[in-house]
Structure 1
Amino acid sequence: MQKRETWGSRSGFILAAVGSAIGLGNIWRFPYMVYENGGGAFLIPYFVAMLAAGIPFMILEFGLGQKFKGSAPKIFSSISKKWEWLGWWQVVVSFIIASYYVVVIAWAMNYVGLAFTQGWGDAPKDFFFGSFLGLTDSPMNMGNVQGSIFLATAAAWAFTFIALFTGVKAGIERVNKVFMPLLFLLVFIFIGRGLMLPGAMDGINWLFKPDFSAIMDGKVWADAFGQIFFSLSIGFGIMLSYSSYLPKESDINNNACMTVFINCGFSIISGIMIFSVLGYMAQQQGVPISEVAGAGVGLAFITLPTAINLMPAPVFFGVLFFLALVVAGLSSMISINEVITSSVIDKFGVSRKKAVAICCSLGFLVSIVFTTGGGLLLLDIVDHFVNNFGILIGGFIEIVFVAWFCNLDEMRVHVNKTSEISVGSLWLNSLRFVVPAMLGFMIVTNFIGDLSKNYGGYSNTAIVAFGWATLALCLAVGFALSSQDRAFANVSSTNSSFLKRR
């Protein structure tokens, strides 16, 4: 049996956890969420969600990983063999996310090079959808593999392979000790120069201008909880895997709080970075900020390049922005793949090197389909279903199972034992009531929306083939892997004492 690795230092673990939590969504999703949901007033439900759901869930996952010393499938199998499938559901979700997330990183890698000459030209939208992506008219029409995207995807996978291959301490920890300070440095340099642009403060004022009537809107609260949940990498195995490498005497509660606070702080400074640019762009074009504000792929690869073309130092801003996207993306990519790697190691007893080689090779092969002309459309459907159902359902079942069918008070004692800050009844009640209620509400709302109308106006064939079928695949593979006779090392075939007797 292989001895389980541990993090080299507390700071190394925190930086790795923060590196996982901080991703592309912090940069291109959070600012628009604030703008659309009441500006500064949105920060009230956002911070409530952080305290009532984000921190409690993070403490729980850190505690589970550190207590049971394993990947998601091993943890749930340790509690009860009947629940191993849930861990594999989260692993399959992570695998699917990794297969398309890496392609978005590849786009950003290409744009770092393009930024030196503004290679996207005077019409960034036409360039992005046309010569760069070679976008087809349907996700059912894959078109050709785009060479530049394919090569960058291969490079991103190679980097991920090296980081995971060299281990937790020498690879993952070392990379994040460089990447996280670098990411914050890039963003702060960008902000420092961006705030000097004419109209920058107008953009920031638009971002944080409070509309307190939004607080009475239930959708705003749901969006706040959703943003916290998605941005913290909780509910799909990442934090379970990372915390399984924590030493026995780790301060779980403090580590969780620091991870959440740093992640949320980065989201806010990302908002300042993005809207300072949008404010300048709106002033230069003589249009309201509402006409240039956006989120997601369009913001990063169309709106921002358009703004960069108008800036006094386009190379400076362009390289800084897309390099920040690459760094944020790769740190998250590493953590997503560690979920898969650690699960294969735990279940099949293979070496880390062999597990990484298998997982990265399979992931790269699946990624190729997203480098085709229909890749963006396919990515859009898969991402929608994986995020709105795959992650949410896995997180909802996990929290209900642990909070209601396991001895949650035993976990409270465990996390408090080595922590400076203790959690009590508020923590218990949050996990039993607040978190399941919000996740359940989001799942039901999403189901109603997707059953009433096809997402994005795609055809029934595309939605079934790439959306609902993806969820069915997660379930089928989860049960198939959990039905394997091979048992995890150091896991009893009987239920652990952590599972309530009924």
Structure 2
Amino acid sequence: MESEVKREEWKSTSGFILACIGSAVGVANIWRFPYIVGENGGGAFLVPFLIVVVGLGVILMMLEFSVGKYFQSSIVNSLKRIRTKLKWFGVLIASVSLVILSYYLVIIGWIGFYLSSFLVSNVLGFEDLAQTYFSLISFVVVTLIVVSIVNKGVIHGIEKFNKIAVVFLIAILIPFTIYAITLPNAMEGITYFLRPDFSSLVNPEIWTTALGQAFFSLSLGSGAMLTYGSYLGKRQFLLKPTSTIIVTNTGVSILAGIIIFSLVFSNAQSPSQGLPLVFNILPEIFSNIDYGMQIGAIFFSLLFVAGITSAIGLFQVPMASVQESFRISRRKAAFFVLVLVLMFGIPSALSYSPISLEFQEEKFLDLLDKIFGTYGITIAELVFVISVAWFMKKKRILENLNKNSRYNFPDWTIHVLKFVAPMLIILTVVSSILSENF
């Protein structure tokens, strides 16, 4: 075993905020959010999603930050220090993060496929991609890129990369939104996307999907926010950074939805095409507009960078857990996680290849996204909240949430964390499972 080294800290608050935005804002917002909205009736999904983000997102993100900051440890070691046996919940959360990362990297590889296609002005369809082994090759390449960034450490790798990438992403999304809303029939798409349907409030499946998407896009349940919070200084306040991260993240999701649905309705396409929505619609649009090759290359380069920033956060969770649990170097821990990611990711990559790997007539990647992207990450957040709210001292929780803050969370916040949040998560998940089976 190797001697333990001094734990890194973020160089600046802005670096921490941008890294967290990078982890939250990414393919989950620009790729997953529009297709999830499309599959769940547009505005019918938006109401539960925003309720979850505002009602639970702020307090749960702050809870992850505060626990990480207090223990200055990974998800596994943080829960272990609350109660020894709780480390297995930490292992569960890190494992969920690893599985999500494994198929997430495949999707980033698809983005790389379209980026290269636009760069050489030879754009192929998603069906063409599925007839090749490019998914497998690009998955390996993207994984190695993420490992190379993480290996450079928190300051010189994660923080430095996100400071450039996140600003670049947001700066390009805004003009894309302006362009999209000027297209013919764009308002039909925007209306479909933004018009609320309050009947959705009684649909348990939509609530479960909204919970999963909120946790996925905010990086809750994956342990990423706790891990990033563990690199904060003890005096760092939390409410303002948390609010900035959530507002920015939700704003990017809304902009992405406006862009995608404006493009979809402008070209008379179905808004509920599922997983390949972005990969079917956008290449077709860009191929038929002036300077489409250049615009497509810029857009997919942004999407690629956004995907990398999110993948870095997901990778850091199991890597930090392995590094601290076995007291080994960052490079050795990264290599160990790399092997596991390849083991889980290769079957997902083969889902969209000539092999077309399926399980019970469903693409292996789609199945993983359904199980882990919705249920897995939701259950992971559930066990985290229970571990902290029920086994950590009430006084310590409130002290860490309120430290160096002008606004203090009241005592009843503990009851929300102990009872309200867990019961909402349990009820929605169980109701969704029952409605699917019956």
Alignment TM-score > 0.5, same fold: yes
1:327 partner letter: V
Q: Where does residue 404 of structure 1 map in the other structure? A: 390
**1:5-56 superposed Cα distances (whole Å, 9 cap, x missing partner):** 0001001111111111123221133335555667557554433322221111
Alignment equivalent of 2:381, drawn from 395, 404, 410: 395
Question: Which residue of structure 2 aligns with residue 333 of structure 1?
Answer: 311
Change (3 A) 1:32 1:381: closer
**What is residue 314 of structure 1 aligned with on the other side?**
292
> Paired residue for 1:185?
171
Residues 83 and 306 of structure 1: CA distance in aligned 2, closer, same or farther (over 3 Å): same
Change in 2 beyond 3 A, CA 1:429/1:41: farther
SS of residue paired to 1:29: helix
CA distance in 1 between counterparts of 2:41 and 2:113 reads 35
Matched, 1:245 2:231: yes
1:69 equivalent among 68, 72, 87: 72
Aligned residues of 2:27 and 2:306 also touching (Cα < 8 A): yes
- Within the candidate set 71, 82, 86, 2:85 is matched to 82
Distance 2:419 2:210 in 1: 17
Aligned CA distance change for structure 1 residues 307 and 2 (closer, same or farther; 3 Å): same
Q: 1:211 to 1:84 in 2, by over 3 A?
A: closer
Corresponding residue for 2:246?
260
Q: Give the conservation status (yes or no) of the 8 Å contact 1:103–1:371.
A: yes
Matching residue of 1:9: 12
Cα distance per residue 1:142-162 (max 9 Å; x no partner): xxxx1x333322321221112
User: Of the candidates 300, 320, 323, which is equivalent to residue 278 of structure 2?
Assistant: 300
Match of 2:21 in 1: 18
- TM-score normalised according to structure 2 size: 0.89
Please list, as runs of the form range in 1=range in 2, the aligned pairs for 1:28-177 lying within 5 A after superposition.
28-34=31-37, 43-116=46-119, 119-121=122-124, 124=125, 126-129=127-130, 131-132=131-132, 146=133, 148-177=134-163
Does structure 1 retain, via aligned residues, the 8 Å contact 2:193–2:257? yes
Q: CA deviation at 1:365?
A: 4.8
1:203-257 alpha-carbon deviations (Å, 9 max, x no partner): 2233223434444555544444333222211122111111000001011222222
441, 449, 470: which one aligns with 2:427: 441
When residues 294 and 83 of structure 1 are mapped into structure 2, their CA distance, relative to the original with a 3 A threshold, is same
1-side partners of 2:433 and 2:244: how far apart? 34
Q: Percent identity of the aligned residues?
A: 33
Deviation digits for residues 335-363 of structure 1 (CA, Å, limit 9, x no counterpart): 11100111111111111122223322442
Shift of 1:266: 1.0
3-state SS of paired residue (1:297): coil
Q: After TM superposition, give the deviation of residue 269 of structure 1 in Å.
A: 1.0
Partner deviation per Cα, 1:116-166 (whole Å, 9 max, x = no partner): 466345xx354243x34xxxxxxxxxxxxx1x3333223212211121111
Letter in 1 for 2:23: S
SS in 1 for 2:107: helix
Task: Say what the alpha-carbon RMSD is for the aligned residues.
Answer: 2.4
Q: Could you tell which deviates more after superposition, 232-241 or 391-400?
A: 391-400
Which piece of structure 1 moves more, 411-420 or 44-53? 44-53
1:447, 1:409 → 2: CA distance? 36
* 1:354 to 2:355 alignment: no
CA deviation digits over 1:461-497, x for unaligned, max 9?
Answer: xxxxxxxxxxxxxxxxxxxxxxxxxxxxxxxxxxxxx
Deviations 1:304-329 (A, max 9, x none): 32333343442134223322321221
- TM-score of the aligned structures, taking structure 1 as reference length: 0.79
Change (3 A) 1:36 1:299: closer
- The question of whether the paired residues in 2 share the 8 Å contact of 1:19 and 1:180 is answered with yes
Correspondence list, 1:466-481, <5 A: none
The change in CA–CA distance for 1:211 and 1:410 in structure 2 (over 3 A counts) is same
Is residue 402–residue 408 contact of structure 1 (8 Å, CA) maintained in 2? Answer: no
Task: Select between 94-103 and 43-52 the one with higher mean Cα deviation.
Answer: 43-52
Change in 2 beyond 3 A, CA 1:278/1:389? closer
Measured in 2, the distance between the counterparts of 1:101 and 1:219 equals 23
Q: Structure 2 vs 1, CA of residues 42 and 375 (structure 1 numbering), >3 Å: closer, same or farther?
A: closer
Residues 89-139 of structure 1, C-alpha deviation per residue, up to 9 Å, x if partnerless? Answer: 111112222222111111110111112466345xx354243x34xxxxxxx
2:214 is aligned to: 228
- The CA deviation string for residues 171-212 of structure 1, in whole angstroms up to 9 with x for no partner, is 000111111111112222322322332222332233223434
How far apart are the structure 2 equivalents of 1:356 and 1:39?
39
Alpha-carbon deviations, 1:397-416, whole Å to 9, x = none? 22123223332342112221
1:195 pairs with 159, 176, 181, which one?
181
For residues 332 and 63 of structure 1, the distance between their equivalents in structure 2, rounded to whole angstroms, comes to 21
Q: Determine the C-alpha separation between the residues in 2 that align with 1:77 and 1:304.
A: 46
Contact 2:357 2:364 in 1 (8 A): yes
Structure 2 unpaired stretches of 5+: none
> What residue identity is the alignment partner of 2:282?
L
Name the CA distance, whole Å, in 2 between partners of 1:44 and 1:443.
18
Q: 2:37, 2:280 → 1: CA distance?
A: 20
Alignment match, 1:367: 345
Aligned to 2:267: 281
The reply on whether 1:422 has 2:414 as its aligned counterpart is: no
> Rg larger in 1 or in 2?
1
Instruction: Confirm or deny: 8 A CA contact 1:38 1:215 kept in the other structure.
Output: no
Partner-residue secondary structure (3-state), 1:320:
helix
Q: Structure 1 211/358 Cα, relative in aligned 2: closer, same or farther at 3 Å?
A: closer
**Aligned length, in residue pairs:** 427
Return the letter of the residue paired with 2:19.
Answer: A
